[in-house]
Amino acid sequence: RLSSTKELLINAEQGKYAVGAFNVYNMEGVEAVVAAAEEERSPAILQIHPSALKEGGIPLVACCISAAERASVPITVHFDHGNSKQELMEALELGFDSVMADGSHLPFKDNILYTKFISRLAHSKDLLVEAELGRLSGTEDDLTVEDYEAKLTDINQAEEFIDETGIDALAVCIGNVHGKIPSKWPQSETRFAEGEDLHALSSKKGVYLVLHGASGLSVELIKGCIERGVTKFNVNTEVRTAYMESLKSPKKDLVHVMAAAKDAMKAVVAEKMHLFGSAGKA
Ligand code: 13P
Ligand code: G3H
Ligand code: ZN
Ligand code: NA
């Protein structure tokens, strides 16, 4: 492996930009991210969600690793949202360069124990570990603002969490949402401005900040996050939607379906690379 996820995040922090971590489900997805990265001269992270892994299995991981190794720009392979020990222990054997131990569904103390367990195992293999504190809301359009507020990353817990678990990267919940942003969601700077404290803490602890749910965020919010130390943005929905949309126009041959899907995803990925400032950095 030529690069590591840690290296990518260190470079992003020093260069004041962020790296996109794009969820992939199949070969077209992998090729779309790699092609965009090579064209834009950008580093990138290919990430696999447990549900995608269940479907794509080892061939999907192998496809990512092989593409990363052959790419002319730094690309690494990350396991996203590992929320059980078994899932993660299996993932650690598959050749991922970094993993997310997602214990955000657990009570605070249990999240610490879970994350610490995974963190030790992953570090014994020299892999970067990301974990989440707070709880990112899902795709429910009618969740109220209060529901989101209740799950924001608690700065007082964050220090203990980082110290106890030894994680390398912290996924923060500062008003971001997985999936489509609900219409009632306030795209204001205010809640994001609370991220200042997290930025200071992460700098002090040498931990990288990650923002999930980067689909649909405004240019201003993305820039604000980068200014406040976010070095990894997770993007799924927008790329996945581009894929699905491309399937709607009829094509003569399967290879044309594949090519159109790849092009549609590639365009979204390339746009994100410019937005995150990673274009031209590889
Ligand atoms: P979006 O689907 O909102 O882009 O979120 C992606 C994500 O956080 C994957 O872990
Ligand atoms: O506007 C950006 C956010 O404040 C990012 O902050 O990730 O440091 O919490 P944070
Ligand atoms: Zn996520
Ligand atoms: Na989102």
pLDDT of residue 225: 93
Label residue 268 by pLDDT band (50, 70, 90). Answer: very high
Q: What is the pLDDT of residue 276?
A: 98
Average pLDDT rounded to a whole number, residues 32-58: 97
Known catalytic residue at 263:
no
For 18-27, what is the mean pLDDT? 98
State whether the beta carbon of 50 lies less than 6 angstroms from ligand 1.
Answer: no
Q: Does 135 contact ligand 2 (Cβ within 6 A)? A: no
Confidence of residue 187 (pLDDT cuts 50, 70, 90): low
Work out the average pLDDT over 6-13.
Answer: 98
- How far are the Cα atoms of 1, 50, 108, 109 from residue 27, in angstroms, in the given order? 20, 16, 37, 39
Going by alpha carbons, the residue nearest to atom 5 of ligand 1 is 213
pLDDT at 151: 73
Percentage of the chain surpassing pLDDT 90?
A: 79
The confidence score (pLDDT) of residue 140 equals: 39
* Ligand 2 neighbour 225 (Cβ under 6 A): yes
The mean pLDDT value for 46-70 works out to 97
176 CA closest ligand 1 atom index = 3
Residue whose C-alpha is closest to residue 88's, from 77, 99, 97: 99
Give me the pLDDT at residue 51, please.
92
Ligand closest to the CA atom of residue 216? 4
Per-residue model confidence as pLDDT tens digits over 191-230:
665 678 899 999 999 999 999 999 988 898 899 999 999 9
Residue 141: what pLDDT? 37
Residue 267 pLDDT > 80: yes
- Check pocket membership of 192 for ligand 2, CB cut-off 6 A: yes
Q: Looking at residues 253-262, what average pLDDT do you find? A: 97
Domain ranges of the chain: 5-275
Q: Which residues make Cβ contacts (< 8 Å) with residue 152, sequence separation at least 6?
A: 134, 173, 174, 175, 191, 194
Average pLDDT, rounded, for the chain: 91
Q: Express each pLDDT in 109-162 by its tens digit.
A: 999 999 999 999 999 999 999 999 988 876 533 445 456 555 788 888 999 999
Of ligand 2's listed atoms, the one at least distance from the Cα of 229 is 8
Lowest mean pLDDT among 144-158, 182-196, 267-281: 182-196
Domain 5-275 is of which CATH architecture? Alpha-Beta Barrel (3.20)
Secondary structure class of 94 (helix, strand, coil): coil
Q: Say if the ipTM goes beyond 0.85.
A: no
pLDDT at 73: 98
Among all bound ligands, the one having the nearest atom to the CA of 193 is 2
- Return the pLDDT at 142: 45
> Alpha-carbon distance 282 to 279, whole Å?
7
pTM confidence score: 0.93
Nearest ligand 2 atom to the CA of 195 is 9
The β-bridge partners of 232 are 19, 210
Q: Is the distance from the beta carbon of residue 235 to the nearest atom of ligand 1 less than 6 Å?
A: yes
